[in-house]
Each structure stands twice: as C-alpha cells, then as structure tokens.
C-alpha cells in the first residue's frame, strides 16, 4: 500500500501551539518535560503533521538528554538532514521528507554498535502508535518489527 505524506490545511489546523512551534518554526521543547522522552511502550512514532512513519521503539534508547532518541529512522528516506547554524553553533537538523516538519537534530554520539547516530527528536513533532493499534491506524506493515507479545524483537534496542 502506497502513501503520500504531506502537509495539509486540515492537519495544520489540528496542531497544538507547541506542535506548531516545533514543527513549523523549528522550536525545541524542554528536556525531561515532554511526552515521549521516557516512553518505554512498544510501537512506532509518526510525524504529527503528516502521519509519515519515522521511528520505531526498537531503535529508541535512553540517551540521558531528556528527549526521545533513536539510532535510525524506521525507513531510511523518511528523514532529510540540513545544516543548522542557529544559536551560534553548527548542528544537523532532522526534517521529515513528507511534510518538511522540523523534528529535532542528529548527533554523532549515539551507540557505536548501532551506527553511532543519535536522532534527538522533539515529542511535539511525533505521534506515538502502540503496537496494538498499528493495524487499526493503517500501519500494520510495521508489525513485523515486534514479536507476538508486542515487545521489541531485539532487547538491546528496546527502551
């Protein structure tokens, strides 16, 4: 099943002020005071604007930063990176390819065994879909990432 993910007026109208600030104005939410930084449930994270699948809990880990962190996107071409020179520093910004939503930043200090990348995301840019709801919400193609109990197949990736 093919999907075209993008930014629509309807989707934009559903964003909270925080979601709009983060995704459309490249804002950042507070560390340790956001919805998913400490979420340990199995499932996937999608772009809050378009619903594009971005990350899996299989690749989520506790980076100690206070934001949800992942070692890789769920689909390699779901994320595009751009140079960000705001705040007097050079960083790599992560944006969704479907809706061009600002998601967060990519750093090279992630787990070495998993490629060394840390996708440090804002919870406000994401919507979490638990394993039990994947089929009902149209994301059943990602069920293979989890075993029959809904937990991550590879414990070293589970958070």
Q: Which of 120, 121, 129, 131 is catalytic?
A: 120
| Length of the chain, in residues | 159
Residue 59 to residue 110: CA distance in whole angstroms:
11
Structure tokens at 22: 């983060």
Q: Is 69 a catalytic residue?
A: no
| Residues in contact with 52: Cβ distance below 8 Å, sequence separation at least 6, in sequence order | 3, 5, 46, 78, 96, 97, 98, 99
Largest CA distance in the chain: 47
**How far is CA 71 from each of CA 36, 52, 59, 68, 86, rounded to the nearest angstrom?**
15, 18, 5, 11, 24
Catalytic residues: 120
């Amino acid at each position: 099943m093919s999907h075209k993910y993008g930014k629509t007026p309807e989707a934009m109208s559903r964003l909270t002020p925080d979601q709009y600030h983060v995704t459309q104005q490249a804002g950042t939410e507070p560390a340790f005071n956001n919805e998913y930084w400490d979420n340990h449930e199995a499932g996937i994270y999608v772009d809050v604007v378009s619903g594009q699948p971005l990350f899996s809990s299989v690749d989520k880990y506790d980076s100690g930063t206070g934001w949800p962190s992942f070692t890789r996107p769920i689909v390699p071409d779901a994320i595009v990176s751009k140079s960000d020179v705001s705040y007097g520093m050079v960083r790599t910004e992560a944006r969704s390819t479907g809706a061009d939503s600002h998601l967060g930043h990519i750093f090279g200090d992630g787990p070495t065994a998993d490629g060394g990348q840390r996708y440090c995301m804002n919870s406000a840019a994401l919507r979490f879909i638990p394993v039990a709801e994947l089929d009902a919400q149209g994301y059943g193609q990602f069920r293979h990432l989890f075993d029959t109990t809904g937990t991550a197949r590879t414990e070293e990736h589970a958070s």
